Amino acid sequence: MNRPLRILFVTSELSPLVSTGGLAEVAAALPRALQRRGHEVRIALPFYRQVPGEYRNSHPWFCGAELGAGAEYGALHQGTLPGSDLPLYLVEHEAYFGRDAMYGVGAYEYEDNAERFCFFCLAILNGLAAEGWKPDVVHCNDWHAAPLIIYLKTRYHQDPFWKDTACLFTIHNLAYQGRFAAAHFDRTGFDRNLFSFNYLEYEGDLNMMKGGIVFADKITTVSPRYAREIQTVEYGAGLHGVLTARQADLSGILNGVDYAAWHPSTDTRIAARYDRTDLSGKAVCKRALQNLFGLPPRDVPLFGVVSRLYPEKGMDILVDALPALMQSEMQLVVLGTGHPDIEAGIRAAAAAHPDRIGAFLGFDADRAHAVYAGSDFFLMPSRFEPCGLGQLYAMTYGTLPLVRRTGGLADTVLPYRPYGNSGTAATGFSFVPQTAPALARCICSALELYQDAPRMRQLRDNAMARDYSWDRSSAAYVALYESIVNRETADG
């Protein structure tokens, strides 16, 4: 197109307002990068209780949504993304979003999540139509935003305002599909004919993720390898057949790093700033990290973990590997919270080896920055990882990632081979299979590298030289947007 695109970015979380993981960071960074390219971008988000009250307008737009059993009404507030001038729409509905949590309490999701996020999506469509701002493309993220695509391609398919709007659907994690018992279908407002195998039905349930995949003009996920993996039985979470059928419209685009927030030369949260040309500050950060986690300031390899402590993140095999690893000269810091058994294992290991293992079983953003800056190596032994941001942050800070070879980890970390010539370009380590012995062997390779100071410096320089900026990723998204906008225009 010869003019800037109008893009609506629809998300269920947004940093720094509300966040449970990487989606929130992507939702803040990608729209900024698109705006830097000259496009007009706006973001849509539910007005959760956790969103600061300053975003509540004195005269909001009132918006309604027909959800099958009757109409629901809410308010559409407007503001800007913190630290930018990006317009932000917030959908308020006290009964749906004025709750203590975003998705549910503990391991239990709210039973009416289908209805909640259907209302959010319909309210956005109706509110924008009332305001008169028409996007060329809506970019919907994960199952929570999938209903918007379904409505656009069915209920609003011939609507004069919306009929030419294109849809991109991004899968950040296929494991979370928005799957609900069939009884919930009547509270969505979807046409009854859509509850069939060809559309929204999966094993007798309503599946929002499937709907997004079926109806979107194009589908992306957050790394090229993950786009291939989810077309297999092993990684497809039951939707591999649907994804394979849309193979021609499915691609993987790596997430990027927001270098304004994550760069050792400008990071105000770390003990000392540094860059590729002067790493002296990294040594200061290592000592500060050891002190922060109650470890003695020893010159031994320091491994860091910032993760949810669940088996899907490989934290179970890390716990299993610790007894053998504690025979070596190394230290480990762990930041995160998760499964009680894994937390207990880490707590017990830290108690048994207080000079080797430091743990903070919670989350704290300042500590996370300290771990990325102060560690020598960063552990991500994930069973699957659509993209992963931790390994990208680690490399930016000259901390070598040690990862399982899967998904975005395989796409972004070039593994070191001690007896090959890959050290000239390597940026970290990788291992398979997903076992404690394989992880331990990989860590032993890192321990050996640590003793080779020139090679260690080379790998650090390689890692810090990699460009994972959002500017690169946003260019790929713009190309996709333009392809589907042009197609919609031609079809219309």
Phi and psi at residue 365, to the nearest 5°? -60, -40
141-178 pLDDT, tens digit each: 999 999 999 999 999 999 999 999 999 999 999 999 99
Parse the chain into domains and list their residue ranges. Answer: 6-256+471-491, 280-467
Contacts with 323 (C-beta within 8 Å, 6 or more apart), sequence order? none
Residues counted in the chain: 492
- For the chain, the average pLDDT equals 95
State yes or no: pLDDT of 265 exceeds 90.
yes
The amino acid occupying position 64 is G
**Exposure of 260 by Cβ count < 10 A (0-12 exposed, 13-18 middle, 19+ buried)?**
exposed
Q: What is the pLDDT of residue 288?
A: 98
Q: What is the pLDDT of residue 173?
A: 93
Number of alpha carbons in the 13 Å side-chain half-sphere of residue 472: 11
| Coil, strand or helix at 368 | helix
Helix residue ranges, H only, 37-156: 94-97, 113-131, 142-153
Lowest mean per-residue pLDDT among 148-157, 261-270, 483-492: 483-492
104-152 pLDDT, tens digit each: 987 789 999 999 999 999 999 999 999 999 999 999 999 999 999 999 9
| Coil, strand or helix at 84 | coil
Average pLDDT over residues 361-387: 96
Is residue 273 within 8 Å of 266, Cβ to Cβ? Answer: yes
Average pLDDT over residues 255-273: 96
Phi and psi at residue 66, to the nearest 5°? -90, 110
Q: What is the pLDDT of residue 489?
A: 58
* Architecture field, domain 6-256+471-491: 3-Layer(aba) Sandwich (3.40)
Q: Does domain 280-467 have CATH number 3.50.50.60?
A: no
Sheet hosting strand 429-431, strand order edge to edge: 357-360, 331-335, 302-306, 377-380, 400-404, 429-431
pTM, two decimal places: 0.91
Element of type H or E holding 245: helix 240-245
Q: What is the pLDDT of residue 66?
A: 86
Contacts with 469 (C-beta within 8 Å, 6 or more apart), sequence order? 33, 256, 257, 259
Contacts with 479 (C-beta within 8 Å, 6 or more apart), sequence order? none
Average pLDDT over residues 416-436: 86
Average pLDDT over residues 297-322: 97
**Exposure of 420 by Cβ count < 10 A (0-12 exposed, 13-18 middle, 19+ buried)?**
exposed
197-256 pLDDT, tens digit each: 999 999 999 999 999 999 999 999 999 999 999 999 999 999 999 999 999 999 999 999
State yes or no: pLDDT of 488 exceeds 80.
no
C-beta atoms surrounding 52 within 10 Å: 11
C-beta atoms surrounding 309 within 10 Å: 24
**Six-digit token pair at 256?**
């990027």
